[in-house]
Amino acid sequence: MDYRRTYRSAAIAFADLVSRIPPDRLDGPGLGDWTLRDLLGHTVSSALRQVPVVLSEKAPTLLVGSPEGYFAVARSAPPELVAAARSASTDDARDTGKALGDQPSTLISDYIGRATSALAGAGDDDLVATPAGGMRVRDWLPTRTFELVVHGTDIAAAASEPISFDAGTLAEAASLAARMAVAAGDGPELLRALTGRTSLPAGFSVI
């Protein structure tokens, strides 16, 4: 799979979804304690706005060698650091959501343009400074595609609007989710559930 193409494809599908959300739905329920506006803000911040920033910050050393390793860092972090990161993420989501206004499509298109332009100038093996540590571009960007796909479906459900990702993009995100489960020690359980042998426990998550 071409990680650049899947990222662009996910971003385009996300932008199309946002263009169809009525403004009066933005301050309604989103995900958990987040409004739909908060959820949009988080997705824009994590999957679009930070891409040019990260791609511009070179890292001296490779610390995380795979997309699933990126998420494993958060899972293994001390609880107090996770709690602080979640609180900061919520604040950022709400601030970004407010900044998007009632017609977020225009700003989102601009963020997509900046992200894809920065990506065009980055090499696959360039080492960049991500929140989890130094990573290759080709390993880090799929984590941003994952954010677009997962939160794109969250937003679609909250807004009661459909979203359509192409097969390659969905396959990349699903494959990453499976590798995350394996890295966390949940591979056999996930495989048995996917093949109809058992059901996953309530609250199961690879994140």
Q: Domain with 91 in it: what CATH number?
A: 1.20.120.450
Number of structural domains (the chain) is 1
Residue 154 near residue 134, CB atoms below 8 Å: no
Domain that holds residue 142: 3-186
Residue 64 to residue 66: CA distance in whole angstroms: 6
Q: Show the DSSP H helices in the chain as ranges.
A: 3-19, 36-44, 50-56, 67-76, 79-100, 105-120, 137-159, 167-183, 187-194
Task: Output the tens digit of pLDDT for each of the chain's 207 residues.
Answer: 699 999 999 999 999 999 999 999 999 999 999 999 999 999 999 999 999 999 999 999 999 999 999 999 888 878 887 788 788 888 999 999 999 999 999 999 999 999 999 999 999 999 999 999 999 999 999 999 999 999 999 999 999 999 999 999 999 999 999 999 999 999 999 999 999 999 999 999 998
Residue 146 near residue 67, CB atoms below 8 Å: yes
Domain membership flag for residue 194:
no
Look-up of token digits 């298109």: 109
Pick the closest to residue 94 from 32, 156, 152, 148 (CA basis).
32
Domain membership flag for residue 41:
yes
What's the pTM? 0.94
